[in-house]
Amino acid sequence: MKNTSALAETAALWAAVRFTADGLVPVIAQQHDSGEVLMMAWMNREALEETLVTGKACYWSRSRGRLWRKGESSGQTQKVLALRLDCDGDTILLLVDQTGVACHTGRRSCFFNEVGPTGEITVVSAPLVTPEALYGAEGHSHP
């Protein structure tokens, strides 16, 4: 069988990255200049390879069970400026340039529910666009 993989089997990455039993690794996306943490998602080996080769963030959607090319339906893509593996190889940090918003609710960041000391929740940011503007009238569920 032809090996269509763009990265060599011997690449240092494959020896260093530690996927879960499900073949996934958690990925934190951070806006490269503002430092804002935008979202956390998952990649499998194929998504990780596509991200490195194309320079655009591609995740694995656990709910849809398929590759999730960030922005494929909303246009809100992430250009990848750096990809860093942590000390024990089980988490990735992506430094990205986010077009528009990262969150499916229309907010810049997914982390908008601030939890207070007694467990109360306050929403600390507002949507910049409506989900309808991002995904059309039929809407969109979380990937």
Separation of alpha carbons 39 and 27, rounded Å? 8
Lookup: tokens for 39 = 């979202």
- Minimum CB separation from a second copy for residue 114, in Å? 5
- Is the distance from CB of 25 to CB of 43 less than 8 angstroms? yes
86 is in an annotated binding site: yes
Contact 52, 44 (CB under 8 A): no
Least distance to a second copy from the beta carbon of 137, Å? 21
Binding site for a second copy (CB under 8 A): 7-8, 11-14, 16, 26, 28, 30, 34-37, 39-40, 52-53, 55, 82-89, 91, 93, 103-105, 107, 110-115, 117-121, 124, 142
Instruction: Enumerate the known binding-site residues for Mg(2+).
Output: 86, 88, 90
